[in-house]
Amino acid sequence: MRVALFLTCVNDTLYPDTGRAVVKLLTRLGVDVDFPMAQTCCGQAHYNTGYRHEAEPLARHFSDVFGEYDAIVTPSGSCGAMVRELYPRMGERARAEGRGDGLATTLAPVVPKTYELTEFLVDVLKVTDVGAYYPHTVTYHPTCHGLRSLGLGDRPRRLLRSVKGLELKELPGADECCGFGGTFALKNSDVSAAMGADKVRNAESTGADVLCAADNSCLMHIGGTMTRLRTGMRPVHIAEILASTEEERA
Amino acid sequence: MPAFPKAAHEAVHNQTLRGNLRHATHTIRAKRANAVAEVSDWAELREAGKQIKDHTLRHLDRYLVQLEESVTAAGGTVHWAADADEANRIVTYLVKATGESEVVKVKSMATQEIGLNEALEAEGINAYETDLAELIVQLGKDRPSHILVPAIHRNRGEIREIFAREMSEWGRPAPEGLTDTPAELADAARLHLREKFLRAKVGVSGANFMVAETGTLVVVESEGNGRMCLTLPETLISVVGIEKIVPTWQDLEVFLQTLPRSSTAERMNPYTSTWTGTTDEDGPRDFHLVLIDNGRTDTLADEVGRQALRCIRCSACLNVCPVYERAGGHAYGSVYPGPIGAILSPQLRGTGSEIDASLPYASSLCGACYDVCPVAIDIPEVLVHLRERVVQGGAVTREGAKVVVKPAKGHAAERAAMRAARWAFSRPGALRAGQRVASRTRRFHPRTLPGPGKAWSGTRALPPVPAEPFRDWWQRTGGGKLPQGGKDTSK
Ligand code: SF4
């Protein structure tokens, strides 16, 4: 199986540790993962802000880059949802606007092959115990697109529960949005910050050391809020937890 | 009305208001989840509701004609109003024809949408709201902030004070020594309202549904005040949006299950009133139905946006919306707040004003509203669709004619940035060059951002830029397989 890592532009630029963790984890599980250098951005920010026509070339580019692989794995629930939920919609809209089937046909092949990381582990590799060791108390925030668009369900929690040394704390109001929402964080910063502060307070109430999620964009917002509110908690991407092992900690 | 972010600013920092909203929405949210979980075929009911509404909207012309025929055959009179002004003129004329100068009202969002109370007042007619929450809003000289609980932003203490201060202005004063216990407040309202019911000769109502086959109107409510308004006056004027039709009585079966569970978390609503034209010696002798368009057929012309017309005003989307919870209902600048308001108002009114152009952005696209909606309106989809209209402009239908709207003001810089980002993202080399510049200059990055970036850094720390973007690491190490060449700059 030819597996490609779609890291996302945000992770590539700001969170390379998450990318290295995904590579390490998948390699450990016997997957030979490739990183196509021509990859850039799925177009989500454009699409969701109202620039669908700017997003279309990016979606085409995504298909060109990843079309030949058997599986595309991404450590981002929202970018995964962009491909799986919104690419088909972009194709439909182009058709409805009388632009023919071209876009839909171009985008169709990548849609069913794109997996969010925890989905890929549980559904494709069929593992929940990835042999990780992480001696911390952790609370898990299911990000909105992972939760509602992709329907990740309890996959991330099942993976976390199998991690040695990890104590999982339930997060009150877990399924409430953290307030990031892409450009929402800038356009409605008051409301966004209020949502972020509530999320952080809920996380703090669990007594966990670490808040983890499957999306660095949300973690950037939550983590930035934690720093300002001086909580002492750390935001960590789930890939980094699943990648860490006993040997390297010893 | 200022743009949403500005309108929300005050509410976000008003601790009492946020407390009131948080408490109310979280309580009803939990109750609703339980009420819905009890129904084993909720998903099917939701799909059925969606299909019935879509079918009706697709053949709206036919069903409206059928409705008019059945209402007329039952002794009622149907009036058509293209917009708010026309609707207000019709209702004012009808009230004046009775020679009365006051009317009692049962909650009707349609009349709020068109500003009927103000229009009547200008003609010397007093309109008394009789729904408890509406009464609180009216006495408090306030605006409604929720579809179902218009006074959700008020707590008991505030309500007591409003009653004690204002009731005497409008009729029977509040009893001496009124406390803020719910029973006493309800009693005070009941006594105050009873006088009005017994005196009024004209009632004005809305309707939750209109059944085309028989010309029957339906109101569902919890208090019974609506029933008083519908049966005691001699003349009844119902003002209803044209999208509220269902073809047959059988269709009601679906909505009478989904509406109460979604809105008040009840298995059944306490009062369901239906009325069909007029009946000798029983109820109003004169019945008028004013059907209002006010932007609805324009909305219907939009393929993506038209699903907003399925809405049965249950308010479930408001109660789960994290943005509504913080911003409050008033920030939405219309009688329809929350997620549904964010997609309905800019369609009914167009995206020309500041507030309407900002409403599609009043959401983090978290999707909770779509999840709970009993008629499966994909609110996030419509929000994004309307964002496109705001930033790009394009062809829309206004007053029945195709027009091309210009992009809303103030998006030029954003548009340029989006184009530049698209340009860079279409060229992996350009992206890489940008990442490298960011990495090399990381020591000089400010901790707070100027200009629009302040919106981020005012409340949240910025993530540090790493020394090496992932793709450089991948290339340098072959994905960790090569012996590490050169010095490791990643740490
Ligand atoms: S949009 Fe859906 S959830 Fe919101 S009020 Fe309308 S029917 Fe209810």
Question: Cβ separation of A190 and B13 shorter than 8 Å?
Answer: yes
User: For B480, which of A13, A23, A54 is closest by C-beta distance?
Assistant: A23
Distance A84 CA to ligand 1 centre (A): 26
**Cβ-contact B275, B229 below 8 angstroms:** no
- What is the predicted ipTM? 0.95
Q: Which of B367, B390, B470 sits opposite A50 (nearest CB)?
A: B390
CB of B141 within 8 A of CB of B161?
A: no
The number of CA neighbours under 13 Å toward the Cβ of B344 is 26
* DSSP states along B307-334: GGGG-----HHHHH-HHHHHH-GGGG-S
Q: Compare CB distances from B363 to A11, A184, A223 and report the shortest one's residue.
A: A184
On whether the CB atoms of residues B391 and A50 are closer than 8 A, the answer is yes
A172 touches chain B (CB under 8 A): no
Residues 6+ apart with CB under 8 A from B414: A49, B391
Distance (Å) from the alpha carbon of B249 to chain A's nearest alpha carbon: 34
Chain A to chain B Cβ contacts (< 8 Å): 201
Show Cβ contacts of residue A133 under 8 Å, excluding neighbours closer than 6 positions: A163, A164, A165, A244, A245, A246, A249
Computed on alpha carbons and rounded to an integer, the radius of gyration of chain A in Å comes to: 18
Inter-chain CB proximity A52 and B4 less than 8 Å? no
The residue whose CA has the least distance to atom 6 of ligand 1 is B311
Q: Do residues A141 and A195 lie in contact, with contact meaning Cβ atoms separated by under 8 Å?
A: no
Q: How far is A135 from chain B (nearest CA, A)?
A: 23
| pLDDT per residue as tens, chain B (491 positions) | 889 999 999 899 999 989 989 999 999 999 999 999 999 999 999 999 999 999 999 999 999 999 999 999 999 999 999 999 999 999 999 999 999 999 999 978 999 999 999 999 999 999 999 988 899 999 999 888 888 888 888 889 999 999 999 999 888 999 999 999 999 999 999 999 999 999 999 999 999 999 999 999 999 998 888 999 999 999 999 999 999 999 999 999 999 999 999 999 999 999 999 999 999 888 999 999 999 999 999 999 999 999 999 999 999 999 999 999 999 999 999 999 999 999 999 999 999 999 999 999 999 999 999 999 999 999 999 999 999 999 999 889 999 999 999 998 878 888 888 888 888 888 888 778 888 877 777 777 776 776 767 888 888 888 888 989 999 999 999 888 876 544 444 43
Q: Measured between alpha carbons, how far is A174 from B407 in angstroms, rounded to an integer?
A: 37
Ligand 1 atom closest to the CA of B263, numbered from 1: 8
Q: Could you tell me which of A203, A206, A208, A239 has the C-alpha nearest to residue A221?
A: A203
CA–CA separation, B191 and B176 (whole Å): 13
Q: How remote is the CA of residue B70 from the centroid of ligand 1, in Å?
A: 28
B375 lines ligand 1 (CB under 6 A): yes
Which residue bears the tokens 């509404």?
B53
- What are the tokens at B163? 């009653």
Contact A58 B474 (CB under 8 A): no
CB contact, 8 Å: A14 with chain B?
Answer: yes
**Number of CB atoms found within 10 A of residue B481's CB:** 9
Q: Which two tokens stand for residue A100?
A: 């023919």
Mutate to test the interface with A, among B354, B440, B470, B473 (most CBs of A within 10 A): B470
Cβ distance of B365 and A41 shorter than 8 Å: no
Position in ligand 1 atom list of the atom nearest CA B372: 3
Q: Is A89 on the interface with B (CB under 8 A)?
A: yes
Give A99's contacts (C-beta < 8 A, 6+ positions apart): none
Counting ligand 1 atoms within 8 A of each CB, the residue from B314, B324, B382 with the most, and so the one to mutate, is: B314
- The single-letter code of the amino acid at A106 is T
- Cβ atoms of residues B248 and B255 within 8 Å: no
Which of residues 58 through 77 in chain A touch B, CB cutoff 8 A? Answer: 58, 61
d(CA B187, CA B447) in angstroms, rounded, equals: 58
